[in-house]
């Protein structure tokens, strides 16, 4: 098991966004998180790598366990250990605009992991080939399409060799014709056994790539199970309403 969350809560002031999350994710599996806007999906994802610190509950990732009961603070080195074990792909790419594609990808391995520059470059070139951008190593982000920038973001995250790779709505900022090229890369990573948690609104993609689907609403996991169970035969009325509305808008 890579990830375990027990009774994880997150509040911003008096507003409780996560109201007690219990979740496990095994190595090599893909978890897809779906739900309406404001249900807590992105906050849950950001609690997994401690970009947001839970206000209660327990988190275990890659053998590092933290207890946030009663708002307890965690040791800085433990937090860093959790973050080292994760990679994250954001909605808005978050590439350094003044650095080339290659420089963006090698930043983490060289600065954080202390890898030799030449070793990091070889790995970056290999990853660019993997995401179909081998000819863009010397380009700057502004010279790339949104889909290309997001694929660079994926290569940058994978370059850190994370135990868990997180995707926060990776296609939401893209034009429809660019969505497919990003989802193709994620599918390939899933096929290779990368452990991933993905927040997405792409239901067809969720059904294809997920081992486990979680439906969230109002800060809680309302339903959890296989893609066939949750997406095709949901037991919960709230899940059925959500999926039917998605179908009605297409």
pLDDT in tens, 192-205: 999 999 999 999 99
Total domains, the chain: 1
Share of the chain above pLDDT 90, in %: 85
The pLDDT assigned to 75 comes to 78
Region 53-74: mean pLDDT is 90
**For residue 235, what is the DSSP state?**
-
Region 96-119: mean pLDDT is 96
Q: Which residues contact 245 (CB under 8 A, 6 or more apart)?
A: none
CB 185 within 8 A of CB 131: yes
Residue 105 lies inside a defined structural domain of this protein: yes
Region 220-234: mean pLDDT is 97
Say how many C-beta atoms besides its own lie within 10 A of residue 215's C-beta.
26
Domain range enclosing 144:
94-161
Per the model's pLDDT, the better-predicted residue between 177 and 131 turns out to be 131
| Radius of gyration in angstroms for the set of CA atoms belonging to the chain, rounded to a whole number | 18
Residue 61 lies inside a defined structural domain of this protein: no
Q: Residue 210 pLDDT > 60, yes or no?
A: yes
Share of the chain above pLDDT 70, in %: 98
Give the chain's mean pLDDT: 94
The pLDDT assigned to 176 comes to 87
The pLDDT assigned to 72 comes to 80
The pLDDT assigned to 249 comes to 54
Residue 128 lies inside a defined structural domain of this protein: yes
The pLDDT assigned to 136 comes to 97
**Shortest CA distance to 157 belongs to which of 109, 100, 91, 206?**
109
Residue 133 lies inside a defined structural domain of this protein: yes
Q: Residue 74 pLDDT > 90, yes or no?
A: no
Residue 185 lies inside a defined structural domain of this protein: no
Residue 21 lies inside a defined structural domain of this protein: no
Q: Residue 250 pLDDT > 70, yes or no?
A: no
pLDDT 10s digits, 16-41: 999 999 999 999 999 999 999 999 99
Residue 195 lies inside a defined structural domain of this protein: no
Q: Residue 248 pLDDT > 80, yes or no?
A: no
Q: Residue 180 pLDDT > 80, yes or no?
A: yes
Strand ordering across the sheet containing 15-25: 15-25, 3-12, 56-61, 64-67
Region 229-241: mean pLDDT is 96
Burial of residue 131 (number of CB atoms within 10 Å: 0-12, 13-18, 19+): buried
Say how many C-beta atoms besides its own lie within 10 A of residue 196's C-beta.
24
**CA–CA gap between residue 55 and residue 177 (Å, rounded):** 40
Residue 103 lies inside a defined structural domain of this protein: yes
């Amino acid at each position: 098991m890579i990830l375990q969350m027990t009774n994880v809560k997150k509040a911003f002031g008096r507003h409780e966004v996560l109201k007690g999350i219990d979740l496990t994710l095994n190595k090599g599996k893909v978890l897809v998180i779906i739900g309406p806007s404001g249900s807590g999906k992105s906050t849950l994802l950001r609690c997994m790598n401690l970009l947001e610190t839970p206000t209660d509950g327990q988190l275990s990732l890659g053998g590092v366990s933290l207890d946030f009961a009663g708002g307890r603070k965690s040791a800085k080195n433990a937090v860093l250990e959790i973050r080292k074990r994760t990679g994250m792909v954001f909605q808005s790419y978050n590439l350094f605009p003044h650095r080339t594609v290659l420089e963006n990808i090698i930043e983490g391995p060289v600065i954080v992991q202390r890898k030799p520059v030449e070793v990091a470059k070889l790995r970056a070139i290999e990853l660019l080939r993997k995401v179909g951008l081998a000819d863009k190593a010397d380009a700057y982000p502004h010279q790339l399409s949104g889909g290309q920038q997001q694929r660079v973001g994926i290569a940058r995250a994978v370059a850190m060799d994370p135990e868990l790779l997180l995707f926060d709505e990776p296609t939401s900022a893209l034009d429809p014709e660019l969505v497919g090229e990003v989802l193709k890369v994620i599918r390939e990573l899933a096929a290779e056994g990368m452990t991933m948690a993905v927040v997405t609104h792409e239901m067809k993609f969720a059904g294809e790539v997920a081992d486990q689907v979680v439906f969230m609403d109002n800060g809680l996991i309302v339903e959890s199970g296989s893609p066939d169970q949750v997406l095709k035969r949901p037991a919960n009325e709230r899940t059925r309403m959500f999926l039917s509305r998605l179908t009605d808008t297409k």
